[in-house]
A and B are shown apart, each in its own frame.
Chain A
């Protein structure tokens, strides 16, 4: 089993380099097989027109059997999108990152899903329990047991 994560990530990286990323997604940094950064932009008409976000992926050695830890990067350059499923600390409440993660999904696959999650947002607001969650949130979003909100948003 040794090296499954790196072999898989290598493969994903190769695919990104040969086939390129989908529109609006860009690889910012993939220097190792532990943490990758990608930028994300919602194309076309949406609530987030003109905004660019960045995602941080953290991989465990068991990736892709175990889901990557994914969150929005917050620094001088990037902010977390205001969205009912995104907490102000960058954590994302999405079932595919938790109990609906499938090993078949990939980094790009997750980005595309999140992109469409943002694209379909109708109203920019924080999750209702944002303050409470952010105050006690663990550093790694995978340690949170999210109660998934409805998927219609």
Chain B
């Protein structure tokens, strides 16, 4: 355990060094050391003050989570006077809810240990005598320790077969097996069956709660037993430990497992643990294994959907998922009947339309009633007539909500698309950076401004994207106007910077371009912060009014 941990620490330090190097080499090493110690202890982001759109969170390595588990286990073990492995099973049985465990255990110690798979179910109901606390707390540790040792010493403590006969495992019927293992229940099976069973449970089923193989036996394998059954199989044992950690993390609202593949880090974010907290904050966190492992603590919608809260982001995505294609198609392929507003697709034929629903007859071109077309059939020249004007007005009103949605959706999608294209921009930029190093006498460090600018554009486009989702649901009024002002300023700044980045590079303009891009990047960064900060404050103050009901909000 301790080895793992020191490894992690080591990686940390490397990262930190890299970052420091970026900032400048002038910093005296003493200060650097202090910063590192500080950082590792408290895991505060490098910058001094917390922004209102940031949340306090703490990345934890698997070893750190295991230590948290150990603390709980030791606590319970101390209170109940039971073995730590027993305490671990009790806690796992109760989903790591210490208070509930203590409460229940104090009342019905025996029942709880039976449920938790620690002591075998008693056949006879006559257990009154030495039950309750004293009884089970003493049997607990003794039995479990015996069970974990028994495998070495006792051959088959259970339904002992006839003496002298070679032991035959009732599962594999292999009578050459000499080593058997059994839990406190005494159901002995050969160790290779146990191995296959435990491995299967862990590997195939991802199970940490492994019952005895005997039919109907409720006993659960304590950790040392699992380890012994696995023998030399370190990989599966590590998987088992990971499963335990995952279970613990899953039971704890303050903790979330990093969703990135193969990442074993956990993030603690008590500020975002409750559902109601998620209505006023957007808990975007990073797991600590890599700065790229960014995710939302509150939902799994998208890694970073700031500034909009989870509930609204989810609503918007659902709406886009349900509506967008349909809405676009409806917009481009249909019109509404001017009388009953049914949506009509014209899939052929002439302009003389008869609504299937209300039988209203109208002209597809001018939308006016057909009766006024007189004999000028099939070639509409009545566009400016009053009746058709009115009909078109009614039509446009019914289209307004669709248009409104598409307005926001198209901008939302556009920013997403542009952000995706930034991968290409990245490559192009890299090329440009190389060009620059050749065409001017700038060093590698000095052309980093391009990369920084691309990063910033990407970040801001993500913010912008979600501001459109938010604006769609914002109710009209002053707050919304201010919101849209901020949005506009940011958008303008981002588009300007994007344009600068696309410009061809002439050797003579490099210095001025560098100046411009750097300035613009700083400005964009500032605008983005304003956008995020103001929106976050709005949530905290309850400033935002919605034009629909948001789940969880009144």
A-side interface residues toward B, CB under 8 Å? Answer: 1, 4, 7-8, 11, 62, 64-66, 100, 102-105, 109
Contact = CB atoms under 8 A, between A and B. Distances in A.
B21 interface: no
A65 B170 CA distance: 12
Nearest to B205: A99
How big is chain B's contact interface, by range? 10 to 19
B214 A65 contact: no
B28 interface: no
A124 B189 CA distance: 40
A15 to B, nearest CB: 10
Given A102-B214, A104-B213, A65 B196 contact: yes
Contact of B193 (A103, A105, A109): A103
Interface stretch (B8-16, B129-137, B171-179, B330-338): B171-179
Nearest to B168: A11
29 contacts: A1-B192, A1-B196, A4-B172, A4-B193, A7-B172, A7-B173, A7-B174, A8-B172, A8-B173, A11-B173, A62-B196, A62-B200, A64-B171, A64-B172, A65-B171, A65-B196, A65-B197, A66-B200, A66-B204, A102-B213, A102-B214, A102-B216, A102-B217, A103-B171, A103-B189, A103-B193, A104-B213, A105-B215, A109-B215
Interface in B189-225: 189, 192-193, 196-197, 200, 204, 213-217
Contacts of B189: 103
A102 B215 contact: yes
Chain A, interface SS category:
loop
Contacts of B192: 1
Given A65-B200, A66-B200, A104 B193 contact: no
Majority secondary structure, B binding face: loop
The 7 closest A-B pairs by CB, nearest first: A102-B215, A11-B173, A103-B171, A65-B196, A104-B215, A103-B213, A4-B172
A104 B159 CA distance: 14
Interface in B155-173: 170-173
A103 B174 contact: no
Contacts of B217: 102
A152 to B, nearest CB: 17
Interface of B: 170-174, 187, 189, 192-193, 196-197, 200, 204, 213-217
A7 B176 CA distance: 13
Given A103-B171, A104-B170, A104-B171, A4 B213 contact: no
Contacts of B193: 4, 65, 103
A66 B171 CA distance: 11
B117 to A, nearest CB: 14
Contacts of A105: 215
Contacts of B196: 1, 4, 62, 65
Nearest to B196: A65
A105 B197 CA distance: 14
B276 to A, nearest CB: 31
A65 to B, nearest CB: 5
B201 to A, nearest CB: 9
Given A11-B173, A64-B172, A102-B213, 9 more contacts: A4-B174, A62-B200, A64-B171, A65-B171, A65-B197, A102-B214, A102-B216, A102-B217, A103-B193
A146 B153 CA distance: 40
Contact of A104 (B174, B200, B204, B214): B214
Contacts of B200: 62, 65-66
A96 to B, nearest CB: 8
Contacts of A4: 172, 174, 193, 196
A69 B173 CA distance: 21
Contacts of A11: 173
Contacts of A100: 216
Nearest to B216: A102
Contact of A8 (B171, B187, B215): B171
Contacts of A103: 171, 189, 193, 197, 213
B516 to A, nearest CB: 59
B86 to A, nearest CB: 23
Contacts of A8: 171-173
Contacts of B187: 104
A96 B398 CA distance: 59
Contacts of B171: 8, 64-65, 103-104
B391 to A, nearest CB: 47
